[in-house]
Amino acid sequence: MSRNNTALLVLCAAVVSLVVAIVAGVIFVATGKTELEALLYGGGAFGVSMLVCVGVIAVL
């Protein structure tokens, strides 16, 4: 896989991970938690999602 394709896949992984983090944070706030707790939860969701996406890209 070329370097340009890999960079594009990593950028797509970051965008998908950002969407996952935003959704996780919004759902966490909807359960009655504070915004700071939701921010930390969303950050964790971003990290895990990005790790999974990069792992999948490495396999490709």
- Write out the residue range of the structural domain in which residue 27 sits: 3-59
Q: Is pTM beyond 0.85 here?
A: yes
> Where does the pLDDT of residue 60 fall: very low under 50, low under 70, confident under 90, or very high at 90 and above?
confident
pLDDT, residue 16, reads 97
For residue 28, the number of C-alpha atoms closer than 13 Å in the C-beta half-sphere is 19
CA torsion sign for 45, 51, 55, 58 is positive
Q: How many domains does the chain have?
A: 1
